[in-house]
Copies of this chain bind each other. A is one copy, B any other.
Amino acid sequence: MSRNENRPLTLRDVSEASGVSEMTVSRVLRNRTDVSQATREKVLKAAKQLGYVPNKIAGALASQRVNLVAVIIPSLSNMVFPDVMTGISGVLENTGLQPVVGVTDYLPEKEEKVLYEMLSWRPSGVIIAGLEHSDASRAMLRAAGIPVVEIMDVDGTPIDTMVGISHRRAGREIGNAIVKAGYKRIGFMGTKMPLDHRARKRFEGFTQALAKGGIEVADQEFYSGGSALAKGREMTEAMLKRTPDLDFLYYSNDMIGAGGLLYLLEQGRDIPAQIGLAGFNGVELLQGLPTQLATMDACRTEIGRRAAEIIVARIQTPDDDIPTRIELTPTLSYGDTLRRG
């Protein structure tokens, strides 16, 4: 019971308690091999007994090395980003690197703030969602002098490296499948997010594919906030009241799609013969529904994994050949709600 003041312990305390120089204590605690077994044991015992926790701030300043990877994403409550995080964490697990998450709420100004905040901790790398950033953000990322991986999207030019899928192509593919299946009167429902560029690109690809088949979106509605499942239900009901002859509903995400699906099942609609549906994202949730919604997997976990692998490689073996653009291919599942063409 020697430590009465409420001061965090330092290397010096461990040094004094063990009778070994600070320098050697530091070596032991960093698992360096050039220390005798006897000394090592003495030190570890003292450190453990004192309850010493190293000060990474001092260590990082001295070594100019920080084992953090900044991960900057729009939202956590989305189902998609937790999956991406799973991929990232899995890869970083035993590399000595640690992910640190920042959330932007789809706001460029907040992204800028979060990025500034994170970069000021001098992380070893950055994984950031999307290719659209403010000029200031791009400048910061470039100036940081660390590996930067932009994820989710490949429709654009990366600052450094990118891993993702083409949302424009994904939208086109769904559009093509719908045209091929012979649906004619298409309704679209999605988030009212001018800042969700990936949703926008999917929609662009979608309308483009329909246009090629000589079809236009017959009705559309955008929402924001609230329970996505409930919104899907409400919007679907409203849209079909407004435009009863629709024979296909395309939803910008699976959650609202599931809401719509449940509603239509309740109504006893004949799916997919009389009316078809499709969502986007391949969320695990869908597997519990009575009928499988047609959807497209966004390769979320793999995107996380590949991005983290690039960061690790760039840090640990910077001279290797490391890819700078990875485009993954999402697969369309027809489920039970989309006729095959």
Cβ of A77 within 8 Å of any chain B Cβ, yes or no, is: yes
Nearest CB of B to A338, in Å: 20
Cβ of A55 within 8 Å of any chain B Cβ, yes or no, is: yes
Rank and list the top 6 A-B pairs by shortest CB-CB distance, nearest first: A229-B288, A230-B288, A227-B284, A230-B287, A227-B287, A77-B82
Main secondary structure, interface of A, reads helix
Cβ of A130 within 8 Å of any chain B Cβ, yes or no, is: no
Cβ of A38 within 8 Å of any chain B Cβ, yes or no, is: no
Nearest CB of B to A335, in Å: 14
Within 8 A of B (CB), among A21-72: 51, 53-58, 60-61, 66
Contact B230 A51 (CB under 8 A): no
- Interface segment among A116-124, A169-177, A317-325: the answer is A116-124
Report the bound CA distance from A117 to B55 in whole Å. Answer: 10
Question: What are 17 residue pairs bridging A and B, where the CB atoms are less than 8 Å apart in the complex?
Answer: A8-B145, A51-B143, A53-B116, A53-B119, A56-B122, A57-B60, A57-B122, A61-B61, A77-B86, A98-B117, A100-B100, A100-B101, A227-B288, A233-B288, A259-B288, A262-B288, A263-B290
Report the bound CA distance from A100 to B100 in whole Å. Answer: 7
Nearest CB of B to A82, in Å: 4
Q: Contacts A82-B76, A145-B8 given; indicate if A120 touches B53 (C-beta within 8 A).
A: yes
Cβ of A20 within 8 Å of any chain B Cβ, yes or no, is: no
Closest residue of chain B to A120 (Cβ to Cβ) is: B56
Contact A120 B54 (CB under 8 A): yes
Within 8 A of B (CB), among A122-152: 122, 139-140, 143-145
Report the bound CA distance from A186 to B155 in whole Å. Answer: 54
Contacts of A228 in B (CB 8 A): 288
Closest residue of chain B to A258 (Cβ to Cβ) is: B288
Cβ of A330 within 8 Å of any chain B Cβ, yes or no, is: no
Nearest CB of B to A340, in Å: 24
Contact B77 A120 (CB under 8 A): no
Among A7, A51, A139, A263: residue with most chain B CB under 10 A: A51
